[in-house]
Amino acid sequence: MKCRKCGEKAAVNMRQHKLALCRQHFLEWIPEQTQRFIEKYHMFGRGDRILAAVSGGKDSLSLWDVLLRLGYAVDGLHINLGIDGGLRYSEESQRLAQRFADERGLGLITVNVAEVEGAAIPEAAALTRRGQLKPCSLCGLTKRYIMNRVARDGGYDVLVTGHNLDDEAAVLFGNALSWSAGYLARQGPVLEASSDGLARKAKPFCRIYERETAAYALLRGIEYIYDECPFAEGATSLYYKGILNRMEADRPGLKLSFYLSFLEAKRAGLLASQQAAAEPGLHPCQSCGQPTSAPGQCAYCRTWHRVRERKGEKAPTEQP
Ligand code: AMP
Ligand code: FES
Ligand code: ZN
Ligand code: ZN
């Protein structure tokens, strides 16, 4: 297989685009594509201050790398969730995110959940109803909350995440299976800021296949955490990804056209009424001031308050 641009030996063959490229041309192609999507979906501009949520995985580190190469001003945010699972998962994730930043002299903000809230995600989840099955729901809530708070407090114009096409197609698949109109209405490359305090969010890799972000990280020599979160096993999103991959193997490009047809249908007005209905009436949380649709306290404050209460109840020193 030869590179379409120079005829040298191809390093990456992308059947989904009927395109094979050598290392050098692939490493140029990814930023070109990303820039095209940033413009097409009006994600952000040159003067904007960008905060990238970096997990230490291939997608978010590659995204940070690509945005820097494109000349954007980007700080990183890493959230240490305190997940061990025998792999030292969080420790290793933070080490790799920090290393990436240090090697390039970049600013990385780190927030350690256990230090801020007094319990790591697995322990906290075990203490609340949100942890009945797995800690993922508490984890998701906590990540979203912290990302929004840091982006807002730091005065960033936009928060970017490394969600790739496989992530977006899997979420879309799940939402379409249940016709969750509200979620479908809000899914897209950009989530606008709201006047009540939700930061603007963008996903510059939403049209880049996971295989492509992995190849990019590998060919750029970016060291990232290979392991999945130990709690991801059996997750519905992985199940959907598996199904979509099987379809993609028979019909290259299926994931992309599934996602693009959805965006096109939305642009044409499908879900327009849901869009309006999906705007939740937000107001400031009584405790922390971040926007919430819940009456009184936001879900984050309510949940973590409960964790602290239960932890206090459990502490042997507090037993009568
Ligand atoms: P995930 O939900 O794990 O698929 O991650 C989706 C995106 O969320 C990643 O590409 C990152 O941009 C962001 N993210 C996930 N985990 C973290 C974390 N611990 N710290 C900062 N950002 C994260
Ligand atoms: Fe949050 Fe796995 S439970 S990353
Ligand atoms: Zn080439
Ligand atoms: Zn709150």
pLDDT in tens, 214-233: 999 999 999 999 999 999 98
pLDDT on residue 128 = 87
What is the per-residue DSSP string for 64-120?
A: HHHHHHTT-EEEEEEEE----TTTTHHHHHHHHHHHHHHHHT--EEEEEHHHHHSS-
| 305 band by pLDDT with thresholds 50, 70 and 90 | very high
Q: Which two tokens stand for residue 158?
A: 């936009």
Ligand 1 atom with least separation from CA of 167: 4
Ligand 2 atom with least separation from CA of 143: 1
Q: Look at the pTM and tell me if it is higher than 0.85.
A: yes
pLDDT on residue 120 = 96
| 278 band by pLDDT with thresholds 50, 70 and 90 | low
Q: What is the mean pLDDT of the chain?
A: 94
Find the residues whose C-beta lies inside 6 A of ligand 2: 81, 135-136, 139, 229, 231-232
| 133 band by pLDDT with thresholds 50, 70 and 90 | low
Ligand 1 atom with least separation from CA of 53: 22
What three-state secondary structure class fits 50? Answer: strand
**Cα distance between residue 259 and residue 242, in whole Å:** 16
Q: Is 217 in the pocket of ligand 1 (CB under 6 A)?
A: no
Measure 1 CA to ligand 1 centroid, in angstroms: 34
Ligand 1 atom with least separation from CA of 164: 10
Q: Is 241 in the pocket of ligand 1 (CB under 6 A)?
A: no
Average pLDDT over residues 239-259: 98
Average pLDDT over residues 262-284: 83
pLDDT on residue 129 = 72
- Could you tell me if 80 and 110 are in contact, meaning their C-beta atoms sit under 8 angstroms apart? yes
The rounded percent of the chain whose pLDDT value lies above 70 is 95
pLDDT on residue 131 = 56
pLDDT on residue 143 = 98
Average pLDDT over residues 241-257: 98
Ligand 2 atom with least separation from CA of 81: 1
pLDDT above 50 for 318: no
pLDDT on residue 313 = 75
- Consecutive H or E run containing 154: none
pLDDT above 70 for 137: yes
- Could you tell me if 301 and 142 are in contact, meaning their C-beta atoms sit under 8 angstroms apart? no
pLDDT above 80 for 282: yes
What do you get for the CA distance between the two ends of the chain, in Å? 74
Measure 63 CA to ligand 2 centroid, in angstroms: 20
* Residue whose CB lies within 8 A of the most ligand 1 atoms, among 50, 51, 58, 60, for a mutation test: 60
Q: Which ligand is nearest to the CA of 94?
A: 1
pLDDT on residue 216 = 98
SS3 sequence of 118-132: CCCHHHHHHCCHHHC
Q: What is the largest CA-CA distance in the chain?
A: 78
Measure 124 CA to ligand 2 centroid, in angstroms: 13
- Could you tell me if 66 and 54 are in contact, meaning their C-beta atoms sit under 8 angstroms apart? no
Q: Which ligand is nearest to the CA of 23?
A: 3
pLDDT above 90 for 208: yes
Least confident of 20-34, 131-145, 196-210: 131-145
pLDDT above 60 for 80: yes
Ligand 2 atom with least separation from CA of 229: 2
Higher pLDDT, 131 or 295: 295
Measure 143 CA to ligand 2 centroid, in angstroms: 9
pLDDT on residue 132 = 63
From residue 192, alpha-carbon distances to 8, 54, 195, 201, 247 in Å are 43, 20, 10, 7, 32
Average pLDDT over residues 158-180: 97
Instruction: Report the nearest-CA residue for atom 2 of ligand 2.
Output: 229
Strand 108-112 and strand 158-160: the pairing is unpaired
pLDDT one-digit tens code per residue, 16-36: 999 999 999 999 999 999 999
pLDDT on residue 274 = 72
pLDDT on residue 85 = 78
Instruction: Report the nearest-CA residue for atom 3 of ligand 2.
Output: 136
